[in-house]
Every structure is written in C-alpha cells, then in structure tokens.
Amino acid sequence: MSSFNDDFVSPSPLPIVITPSGTGVNIFATNDNIPATIETTLLTYTVVTPIHISQLIGWGTYVGEFLIKKNGVIVGGGRTSAAEQTLDVDYETAPIVTAMGDTITVTILHYGPGLRQFRCNLLGE
C-alpha cells in the first residue's frame, strides 16, 4: 500500500530515548530538521518486549499531522493547530497492541516554511 507522499527519513540523527518505569515505557524522539510538505519519520522503534501504546504526545515549532504506524500501516495519530499546539492523544481505553518484532514509527507532516523542529513521546505499558 502506498500513499500520496512517500516517507522521507531525515538525514539528521533521530535521537531516541527509551525510559522504562515500573508500569510502562516512554519513548522520546526529536528532530530539528523536518522539511515542509514531506511526511518525515520522527521516531522508529522496533518492539523487543510487547507493549500496549497508550498515549501519543507531539509538539513542534509549527502545526503538523502526527501519524503512528505499525509495520507501515497507520493505526493512530492526530493534528496540532494554532489553538492546540501540543497533541495529546489518549489510547488507554483501546491501546495499540504491539508484538515482538513490530516496527513502530511516528511520522510528521507540516506545511510551514523551511525546516522545523518536532518532538514526540510515545507512552505504553
């Protein structure tokens, strides 16, 4: 299955911090060089221990659409706006279930001028 825009992986490093806790996992990613009009991968995570994704938090220096993909298929996401500049999507009632070996990505698409900074946290248990 293909989409209108092919994913663009930014040439800059995609630092990812995984913070385990007593009850879950917090996966953080940031990128200062997200180009306009190109869906760009912000976070990539290969599941080593199955988790249930319970929340996506995303923000940046411009409004944008965040998508969660599991093995390349869109399974969640949302959009920021001028009024709501931080996206906070709660999946606790119906979490996104993962299995060992799944590849989870969060992509971002924005239409602002030039390169922009975006960050996200993907939370799960």
Cα separation of the two ends of the chain: 29
Give the model's pLDDT for residue 5. Answer: 39
Give the model's pLDDT for residue 102. Answer: 96
In the predicted model, is pLDDT for residue 8 greater than 50?
no
- Residues in the chain, total: 125
Residue-number span of the structural domain to which 57 is assigned: 16-124
Higher model confidence: residue 41 or residue 17? 41
Residue 104 is assigned to a structural domain of this protein: yes
- Mean pLDDT, rounded, of the chain: 87
Residues 56-102 pLDDT 10s: 999 999 999 999 999 999 999 999 999 999 999 999 999 999 999 99
The total domain count for the chain is: 1
- At residue 36, the 3 state secondary structure works out as coil
Higher model confidence: residue 2 or residue 121? 121
The CATH number given to whatever domain includes residue 80 is 2.60.120
Name the residue among 39, 42, 12, 10 with its Cα closest to residue 27.
Answer: 42
Residue 4 is assigned to a structural domain of this protein: no
